[in-house]
A and B are shown apart, each in its own frame.
Chain A
Amino acid sequence: MSSNEVEVAEEAPPTDELRESLVSRLTELVGDAVLEHHIVVGKDVWIRVKNEAWVEVGNAVRVPMGARFFGFVSAIDWMPSPYGRSMDSAVDTIVKGATDKPVPEMVTGYAGGESRFQVIARVTNLKAGWSLNLKTDVGDAEPSVASWTQVYAGADWHEREVFEMFGINFVGHPGLRKIYLPGDFEGNPMRKDFPLLARMVKPWPGIVDTEPMPGANEPADAASSEEAVS
Chain B
Amino acid sequence: MTAITDRQKLAYIAGQAADARVNIELETEGMTLNMGPQHPATHGTLRIVAKLDGEQVIAADPIMGYMHRGYEKLAEVRTYAQVTTLVNRIDWLGSFANEVPFILASEQLMGIEAPPRAQWIRTLLFELSRVANIILFLGDMAVQLGALTPVFFAFRDREHVLNQIESATGGRFHPNFDRIGGIKDDLPKGWLAETKATMANVRKFCDEMEELVMGSQIFEARTRGIGVIPPDVAQQYGLSGANLRASGVDWDIRRDNNIGLVYDKLDWKVWTHTDGDSFARFWVRMQETREACNMIEQLCDGVPSGPIMAKVPRIIKVPAGEAFVSTENPLGEMGYYIVSQGDLTPFRVKIRTASFNNVSITPWILRGVYVPDIITILASLYFILGDIDR
A133 contacts B324, C-beta separation under 8 Å = yes
Nearest-CB residue, chain B, relative to A227 = B314
Give chain B nearest CB distance to A208 CB in angstroms.
13
- B residues near A152, Cβ cutoff 8 Å: 236-238
B73 contacts A88, C-beta separation under 8 Å = no
Given A86-B343, A180-B68; A109-B324 close (CB under 8 Å): no
B313 contacts A227, C-beta separation under 8 Å = yes
B70 contacts A71, C-beta separation under 8 Å = no
A229 contacts B309, C-beta separation under 8 Å = yes
> How distant is the Cα of A83 from the Cα of B342 in the complex, in angstroms?
17
- B residues near A86, Cβ cutoff 8 Å: 77, 343-345
A107 contacts B341, C-beta separation under 8 Å = yes
B63-92 with Cβ < 8 A to chain A = 64-65, 68, 70, 72-74, 76-79, 82
Nearest-CB residue, chain A, relative to B311 = A228
Give chain B nearest CB distance to A197 CB in angstroms.
11
User: Does A173 make an interface contact (CB < 8 A)?
Assistant: no
- B residues near A227, Cβ cutoff 8 Å: 313-314
A69 contacts B313, C-beta separation under 8 Å = no
Give chain B nearest CB distance to A9 CB in angstroms.
16
A109 contacts B339, C-beta separation under 8 Å = yes
Task: Give the most central of A77, A85, A129, A189: most B CB within 10 Å.
Answer: A85
- A residues near B77, Cβ cutoff 8 Å: 86-87, 94, 196, 199, 206
Give chain A nearest CB distance to B261 CB in angstroms.
16
A181 contacts B312, C-beta separation under 8 Å = no
User: Does B96 make an interface contact (CB < 8 A)?
Assistant: no
A170-193 with Cβ < 8 A to chain B = 178-182, 189-190
- B residues near A87, Cβ cutoff 8 Å: 77, 79, 344-345
Give chain B nearest CB distance to A138 CB in angstroms.
15
Q: Please, how many residues of chain A have a CB less than 8 angstroms from a CB on the other chain?
A: 56
Nearest-CB residue, chain A, relative to B72 = A190
User: Does B95 make an interface contact (CB < 8 A)?
Assistant: no
Residues 107-130 of chain A, each 1 if its beta carbon lies under 8 Å from chain B, else 0: 101100000000010100010010
> How distant is the Cα of A156 from the Cα of B237 in the complex, in angstroms?
9
Give chain B nearest CB distance to A139 CB in angstroms.
18
> How distant is the Cα of A154 from the Cα of B365 in the complex, in angstroms?
12
User: Does A225 make an interface contact (CB < 8 A)?
Assistant: yes
> How distant is the Cα of A130 from the Cα of B352 in the complex, in angstroms?
17
A126 contacts B251, C-beta separation under 8 Å = yes
> How distant is the Cα of A219 from the Cα of B215 in the complex, in angstroms?
66
Nearest-CB residue, chain B, relative to A228 = B311
Interface of B is mostly: mixed
User: Does A52 make an interface contact (CB < 8 A)?
Assistant: no
Q: Please, how many residues of chain B have a CB less than 8 angstroms from a CB on the other chain?
A: 53
User: Does B364 make an interface contact (CB < 8 A)?
Assistant: yes
Give chain A nearest CB distance to B64 CB in angstroms.
7
User: Does B257 make an interface contact (CB < 8 A)?
Assistant: yes
Nearest-CB residue, chain A, relative to B346 = A86
User: Does B348 make an interface contact (CB < 8 A)?
Assistant: yes
B119-173 with Cβ < 8 A to chain A = none
User: Does A10 make an interface contact (CB < 8 A)?
Assistant: no
> How distant is the Cα of A66 from the Cα of B231 in the complex, in angstroms?
14
Given A86-B344, A227-B314; A68-B236 close (CB under 8 Å): yes
User: Does B275 make an interface contact (CB < 8 A)?
Assistant: no
B200-259 with Cβ < 8 A to chain A = 232-233, 235-238, 249, 251, 256-257
B12-20, B48-56, B355-363: which lies at the A interface? B355-363
B249 contacts A230, C-beta separation under 8 Å = no
User: Does B370 make an interface contact (CB < 8 A)?
Assistant: no
B356 contacts A157, C-beta separation under 8 Å = yes
Residues 331-342 of chain B, each 1 if its beta carbon lies under 8 Å from chain A, else 0: 001010101010
- A residues near B315, Cβ cutoff 8 Å: 220-221, 224-225
A179 contacts B324, C-beta separation under 8 Å = no
Give chain A nearest CB distance to B336 CB in angstroms.
11
Q: Which of A153, A205, A206 contacts B236 (CB 8 A)?
A: A153
Known pairs A109-B321, A180-B64, A206-B77; list 11 more (Cβ under 8 Å).
Answer: A68-B236, A69-B251, A76-B339, A87-B345, A154-B237, A158-B360, A179-B65, A220-B314, A228-B314, A229-B309, A230-B309
Interface set of B (CB-CB < 8 Å, partner A) = 64-65, 68, 70, 72-74, 76-79, 82, 108, 232-233, 235-238, 249, 251, 256-257, 307, 309, 311-315, 317, 320-324, 333, 335, 337, 339, 341, 343-345, 348, 350, 352, 356-357, 360-361, 364, 389
Q: Which 10 A-B pairs have the closest CB atoms?
A: A180-B65, A86-B343, A154-B237, A70-B238, A224-B315, A180-B68, A228-B311, A157-B360, A86-B345, A68-B235
Listed A/B pairs (7) with beta-carbon separation below 8 Å: A68-B235, A69-B235, A71-B333, A72-B238, A77-B348, A182-B65, A220-B315
